[in-house]
Structure 1
């Protein structure tokens, strides 16, 4: 199976690459800047041609076009839209609107750009799955604390986008799901997070492996439990 992963140089994305290569899959990894690919180099030496690393800035139309031109030379079985940023976690009176716009551009618009650009290759794949790493913090009904406007709003927008995407792509036989990875020990999640990245990714891969059309447009956590909108 051939997987495409965005935001692959660190954290959850890096762990996706590691675990997929370990089980024998082929991976195309998108990284924001060439210097960020260094952590992937040892995996490249081990995996050989089963790992390909590409420059990718998900907010840039030109970068996404170049990425798609390279990736779409062969069918893609599974796309994992993982690239994301946290934005500033501040109250209403401290909002930085440029940061808010940037966070929405990465977290909500980026996955739409990538998925749209890779559709020709996804339609040719045998997996026919698109998984989007979102967050429970994008759930409207779960928001009882406020704050974190940029992150919450960007993930809520992503969730709505994927609901529409799932309906649009159903006719192509492509299933689209949203995944909450948990509070994970990464640069974004911090060291106080209770969940190791390998456990989170192992769980999300189990969910992705089991996805069928009946799951399309739904929102799951890394253990497979459905999350309210």
Structure 2
């Protein structure tokens, strides 16, 4: 069995995922497997990953069934276990009111944000079972919270993440007796490519959105988010199972 602590991070080539790869790989006892849609793309992540002995990549497009189906075989060539699975990859491009959102926007967001993480977990599950750690963290959003509903026009994005949250609850219940620790985390309002796009598009849909964000949301950088999420993951134990945490470590209701 692989002696290093093995992390699998989906969407590890940009934004929060890339920052998590950078921070976790600083510890040579960690082995990071990052999924990317196009491993051949010559970008900053590829240069970084090729310079690190403890970082590997696998091809995974969440919108391609063939990529998900091949994930187990790809992982098996690199490791015999996964200690920590971070389901980070997703999309957010649903800046519409519900009554205006195109059908395809809903279908795409549910396929990528709600369904793909579940099917990916099914492939990762046999590797997690071989670990003593057995942690699975699903990156969600405060915008999907029922208990703290926010009047933001993110239609399919928020509801797809709410669907993901329910799967997190189901998995945490089903696998608790096997020693799994499964929970969701809100990474903050992050100034990544995705977050910057939100700041550009949301005000056009709701004129008061800038005022809302200024009053209630403090944007953070991808690195600040990654460092905070890393602390939450490292602090997590069996008490975290089936819960929803914000990047600052506070617990919130779904």
TM-score, normalised by the number of residues in structure 1: 0.94
Partners in 1 of 2:117 and 2:107 — Cα distance? Answer: 15
Q: Unmatched 5+ residue regions in structure 1?
A: none
Structure 1 residue 92, shift from structure 2 partner? 2.5
User: Which range moves more in the overlay, 54-63 or 214-223?
Assistant: 54-63
Structure 1 residue 52, shift from structure 2 partner? 0.9
Q: Unmatched 5+ residue regions in structure 2?
A: 200-217
The alignment status of 1:27 with 2:32, answered yes or no, reads: yes
Structure 1 residue 64, shift from structure 2 partner? 1.2
Structure 1 residue 213, shift from structure 2 partner? 1.5
Asked if structure 2 preserves the Cα contact closer than 8 Å seen for 1:3 and 1:77, the reply is yes
Structure 1 residue 212, shift from structure 2 partner? 1.3
RMSD between aligned residues: 1.6
- The 5-angstrom pairing of residues 175-194 of structure 1 reads 175-190=181-196, 194=219
**What is the aligned counterpart of 1:81 among 74, 83, 87?**
87
The structure that has the greater radius of gyration is: 2
The alignment status of 1:54 with 2:54, answered yes or no, reads: no
- The 5-angstrom pairing of residues 141-160 of structure 1 reads 141-160=147-166
Partners in 2 of 1:208 and 1:36 — Cα distance? Answer: 30
**What is the aligned counterpart of 1:9 among 9, 13, 35?**
13
Structure 1 residue 23, shift from structure 2 partner? 2.3
Show structure 1 runs of 4+ deviating over 6 A. Answer: none
Partners in 1 of 2:184 and 2:64 — Cα distance? Answer: 23
Counterpart of 2:172 in structure 1 is 166
Asked if structure 2 preserves the Cα contact closer than 8 Å seen for 1:87 and 1:100, the reply is no
Partners in 1 of 2:151 and 2:48 — Cα distance? Answer: 40
Partners in 2 of 1:35 and 1:102 — Cα distance? Answer: 25
Counterpart of 1:214 in structure 2 is 239
Asked if structure 2 preserves the Cα contact closer than 8 Å seen for 1:181 and 1:204, the reply is yes
Partner of 1:182, secondary structure, is coil
Asked if structure 2 preserves the Cα contact closer than 8 Å seen for 1:2 and 1:78, the reply is yes
Q: How many residues align?
A: 228
CA deviations on 1:65-122 (whole Å, 9 max, x unpaired) are 2122121441110000000100221113321111111011111111101111111110
Structure 1 residue 22, shift from structure 2 partner? 1.3
Structure 1 residue 146, shift from structure 2 partner? 4.8
Asked if structure 1 preserves the Cα contact closer than 8 Å seen for 2:172 and 2:181, the reply is yes
Counterpart of 2:224 in structure 1 is 199
Partners in 1 of 2:120 and 2:69 — Cα distance? Answer: 9
CA deviations on 1:171-212 (whole Å, 9 max, x unpaired) are 221110100000011001118672011111111111111111
Structure 1 residues 37 and 226, CA, compared in 2 at 3 Å: closer, same or farther? farther
TM-score, normalised by the number of residues in structure 2: 0.85
User: Which range moves more in the overlay, 186-195 or 4-13?
Assistant: 186-195
User: Which range moves more in the overlay, 179-188 or 84-93?
Assistant: 84-93
Counterpart of 1:68 in structure 2 is 72
